[in-house]
Amino acid sequence: MKTRWWLLALILTFVAGWFIGRTSPQPAGPPPLVSHDPVPRDNRAEPSRETTRKRWGEKIQERDREDLGGLINEIPAKHRGASIEAWLASRGIGGLDGEAKEKLRELLDSWAAADVDGAWQWASELRDPGLRELAMTGVAGSLAGSDPKRAFECLVALGEFHHDLDDFRLNSLMEKLSKEAAKQSAAAVVDLWARLPKTAGSVRTRYGVSLEMDASTDFRTLIDGMNHKLGQRNDLPMFPSGMMESWMRHDPDGATDYIVERVAAKENFANEWWEMRSVVGKDNAPAADRWTVELLRSLPEGQHGAFFQGTNMVNDPAGTVALLQGNATEAESTRWLGETAQRVIEGDQASWQLPNLLKELPVEQRIEIAKTLRGQNALSAINGIIADWKLSDAQVQEIRNTIHSP
């Protein structure tokens, strides 16, 4: 019996201890560690690339042009191009004024000086055609003095010009390269210029690059080659000039003979002519007029009209008549202008060239010139303007009969 009570007491003691252990609070442990230290700088989030480039673009906008040389070197190399684009985008690409263009050139000058390959690559890979052209010509200008051959390749890589080329460092570049090419041959100068890309219709302003050649130059090959390979000046972003001036200074007889040959071939040689005349008449226009009339007197009969057309003097009738009235006889003037009028009516601009040419003359001289004309085109052209001359019916019929005659 005692044994049973002892066992019962032991069991109750065990159960009570177990129950108390389950319900008693656990002793509090140490609080969890919570750091209130700031996040280390190296673990902070980096600004996005867009934010970084926009910030540099704003700095470009804020700086004066004179301070941009140092700024481009502060911009990390990987952000330079995009930072410039961010700046340009804030202004509106395609609407840059002269000041903004100068700022861009200043940036490219410094960039090319520090990393020409990086500047070249960025400029050549731009997708916007207008910005690419502006950047490529800017890099070319930057290299014009230090590496002219690579600068020229920048221009060639463009393929076509769509905007005015207003960086005059490129004029100096073409002068320098032309002089180097001339040491090889006149043909080498032509080939150099033939590689220059042509222009699109949007280019409005073109500049001449004066090429001063020495006396040993084969001027005939040079000028003929330029005319045949380059086409019209309006097709080029800049064009070579001054070649005929050089020839005229070194060999006036050879230059004059060349012009006479062009007259006989009935070609246009207006650019060459006015360069020649500028040498003869420098600070002395009357001397140039007298020289011109003497040249006209040396031409065979029938070639004077080709001369006035080839020089484009037919488009300046007032100037042409003034030249002849002051230096040629009336008979010479009538004969030469008659030949010119005949060539005009055979062309496609007779409707305005003929009346403008004849209206500068006295009526009596107009009548004499009209009588020298032949052919159905001549009759049609004269019929279209003769009413303004206020002639009698007999005079009009006489002119018409003369034009019909063999």
d(CA 329, CA 249): 30
Half-sphere exposure (Cβ direction) of 57: Cα atoms closer than 13 Å: 19
What average pLDDT does this structure show over 238-266?
96
pLDDT higher than threshold 70 for residue 317:
yes
Between helix 330-345 and helix 350-358 the angle, nearest 10°, is 170
Residue 332 DSSP class: H
**Measured between alpha carbons, how far is residue 328 from residues 105, 293, 296 in Å?**
55, 7, 10
What confidence score (pLDDT) does residue 22 get?
46
Per-residue confidence (pLDDT) for residue 348, from 0 to 100? 81
For 365, the token pair is 């001289």
pTM: 0.78
- Calculate mean pLDDT across residues 397-403: 92
- More confident position, 53 or 111: 111
Lowest mean pLDDT among 2-11, 114-123, 125-134: 2-11
Is the pLDDT at 103 greater than 90? The verdict is no
Rounded distance between C-alpha atoms, residue 397 and residue 195, angstroms: 58
Q: Report residue 9's pLDDT band, with 50, 70 and 90 as the boundaries.
A: very low
Residue 168: which of 94, 101, 113, 81 has the closest Cα?
101
Quote the CA–CA distance of 224 and 226 in Å, as a whole number: 5
Is the pLDDT at 339 greater than 50? The verdict is yes
* pLDDT of res. 229: 92
Contact between 141 and 112 under an 8 Å Cβ cutoff? The reply is no
Select the more confidently predicted residue: 340 or 100.
340
Query: Looking at per-residue confidence, does 160 or 25 come out higher?
Result: 160
Of the pLDDT bands very low, low, confident and very high (cuts 50, 70, 90), residue 47 is low
Percent of the chain with pLDDT over 90: 56
DSSP 238: E
Q: Report which residue type is found at 146.
A: S
Mind listing the pLDDT tens digit for each residue in 128-172? Answer: 888 889 899 999 999 999 999 999 999 999 988 988 888 899 999
Residue 312 has what pLDDT?
95
Residue 10: count of CB within 10 angstroms of its CB: 10
Number of neighbouring beta carbons within 10 Å of residue 358: 25
Higher pLDDT, 260 or 32: 260
95: pLDDT confidence band, cut at 50, 70 and 90? low
Please give the Cα distance from 365 to 286 (Å, whole number).
Answer: 24
Rounded to an integer, the average pLDDT of 294-309 is 96
Helix (H, G, I), strand (E, B) or coil at 161: strand
Buried b (16+ CB within 10 A) or exposed e, 295-308: bbeebeeebbbbbb
Q: Give CA–CA dist 278/259, Å, rounded.
A: 15
Handedness of CA 389, 394, 400, 402 (dihedral sign): negative
Give the pLDDT band (50/70/90) at residue 30. Answer: very low
* Per-residue confidence (pLDDT) for residue 404, from 0 to 100: 77
